[in-house]
Amino acid sequence: MKNMNILKSEDGLFEIALKINGENKKFKVKNNEFLLDALRRYGYKGAKKGCDSGDCGSCAIMFNGKPVLSCMMPAVTAHGGEIVTIEGIGTIEKPHAIQEAYVEAGAVQCGFCTPGMIIVTKHLLEKKPSPSDEDIKKELDGNLCRCTGYVSQIKAVRIAAKKMKKKGKK
């Protein structure tokens, strides 16, 4: 999507254009609104509002191919960008290999950290299809989980890497 000028509407809001999960969308946002709040207001509830300070990673989304913390990103700065949320990765009916792996590894206990973990896992496996344990730990760093000791998530990433290689999937 081409970066265009942001238009201020009559109601004092700014209209931003985005591509979200492959679909072109337009949102009206306040000048001081964060992307997470706008996404959730428009129905994208998968990114969680955890700490609201950029510390937990539960709000992670892909923005122009890189994971970002949507609770720290002003919505107006997303104008013209491409976003992938957890809703764009897989569905209950047709889960992505990463989602399957997280379930198989028991890495989805309360589920609050899971969307952010899956987002960064996808980013890692797109860059490094055969990551080392150190690569995995580095990528998951910044995603807090209060239910596990991260052993399950590391195992899930390894399982996902194998599944994705087998399926030839991104």
What is residue 99's three-state secondary structure?
helix
Q: Give the CA dihedral 19, 23, 26, 28, nearest 10 degrees.
A: -80
The pLDDT assigned to 163 comes to 95
Q: Give the CA dihedral 142, 145, 151, 152, nearest 10 degrees.
A: -120
List domains and CATH numbers for the chain: 7-88 (3.10.20.30), 97-167 (1.10.150.120)
Of 99, 122, 114, 103, nearest to 50 by C-alpha is 114
Q: Which residues of the chain have pLDDT under 50?
A: 1-3
Give the pTM: 0.90
The number of helices, as runs of H, and strands, as runs of E, in the chain is 5, 6
The pLDDT assigned to 158 comes to 97
The pLDDT assigned to 99 comes to 97
